[in-house]
A and B are shown apart, each in its own frame.
Chain A
Amino acid sequence: MTTTPFVRDQWYVAAYGYEVGRELFSRTVCGEPVLLWRTEAGEVTGMSDRCVHRRFPLSQKPSHLVGDQVVCGYHGFTYGADGACVNVPGQRRIPRTARLTSYPVVEQDSFVWVWIGDRELADEKLIPRAPWLDQPGYTTVSGMEPLAARHGLLVDNLLDLSHETYLHGGYIGTPEVAETPITTEVDEQAGIVRVSRHMEDAVCPPFYAESTGITGRITRWQDIEYHAPCLYLLHSRIAPVGTPPPDADGGDPDAFHVEVVYAITPETENSTHDFWAVARDFALGDEKVSGFLHDNNRTVVLQDVVALDVLEKAVAAERDGYQELSINIDTGGLAARRILKRLAEEAAR
């Protein structure tokens, strides 16, 4: 099976802000190795991670930072924070073309977003928000797992949570997830897919029982909001059965809220950075709850990673146009695929 081309003119999460400091850091986004580091003033800057001279990766030692300049560890080409070469060995003249491609970078909601396409189109206002990750009133745990599968498989996976019942039984899956009908809303123009599953009377899975302390049955709402191509939000509401619904102005004091956020960033055509974060509005700052949610969510993410790594091998070996069968639960996933396909087609033009 052939994969779709990269959609370069989009914002992608390249890293968490906490991953980027005064050490040279590299991550490949849509096939482009991106070098990230913080200036002395604390700004994140992004540029190509390949020296223009002989392509040595600038993230590799003995390459290093001196103040706000990167010195290539191979022959000493030196670059400023804008990517321009400021020094070459042995001669005074710096070739005009000695400049690293630099990438627009925005740090927001704990993420470092990067734009690797046409920089004229890099409008910060296009970046979808996940404010809970960096907001008073929430405590967040997060991580990133490398996925050896094309990003489309992770989008499929996240848009259909009925798989929780089977793949994540005993963690976040209970029978009600697969049994409860969904509602799907698609805004083609904005590239947003919403899938809702409201379970009014369900078993409380260990993930929520242990973190909230609820012992009985729960009302469990899952409201997914996928902002193609990169950001996935799952608004999760958990409350003991009988808790009143949110009031008209959005107040919902008796329920527990968990904002599960994924950033789905293509690394190569067949590999993906699987960023995950879990923000909660209860047990704030409680280290024990944080440790539990971190370890449990990571376990769940890794269950998906194992499954999708296997699935990637299987579909990669298939001929183009292989058969699949879609059922009701796939309504949102089909819409997401179509939006991704449209973006890729627009990009190919």
Chain B
Amino acid sequence: MQCGHTGRNLIETNAVYVIVAREFKKFIREKSRLISTLARPLIWLFLVGGGMSKLVSFGSGISYMQFIFPGILGMTILFSSIFSSISIIWDKEFGLMKEILVAPVSRFSIVIGKALSGMVISVLQTIIILMLFPFLGMELSILSILSIIGIASLLAFCISALGIIVATFFESFESFGAIINFIVMPMFFLSGAMYPVDKLPSILKVITRINPLTYGVDAFKHAIFSDSSIHDFSLLTDLTFLVISSIIAVAVASFLFERKG
């Protein structure tokens, strides 16, 4: 931790650190939020995955429950990253945002701080979900666990940054439902999380192609399954897309923050 240094930094490490630390502290303090965010993936995995696996079957010895596991990871990250970023609206409504905006901190640092907050919380949840793995009859090497965590970080950062863009357009929490219905749910279903992308009609396919979650889920499939027939893109494509969209999202979010405050 660097401190006491006041130059014309592009990024203020102290500020970024404390924005993340606050989010993290609140997350672990709020038991109900922790439990509910962990319950959602479990419910999907065992109720949806368990039910559907009787109907759908894949070759190559992968059960449906196993097939959707990368999607469940993606869902966990999608929800926790979006929630984390959307908390900006909460901060605006209850005032803390003003305290941050009036401080000598660049808007870029605020965006990075918020995106990293979403990332830290999402990765924490990913790790907890990963502990469920032995129950699904799959074994993961240390290498694939590390790559899952790496991909999770990148994906969570990207989605959190996109969430910040969304949050800059809303002043009050009333729009929360709309955000979930019109942004989060479509992102989830049009990502190949629940079913292979190539089975979708072509209009929807276009959306899957610009949805970062598609690439995140695909990257998880690379890390989890050795069978190459199950993914749609190369790992390099997945990672490149995520990196580029993260950079664009952070740039746009910083611009919007600077303009609207």
A-B interaction: no
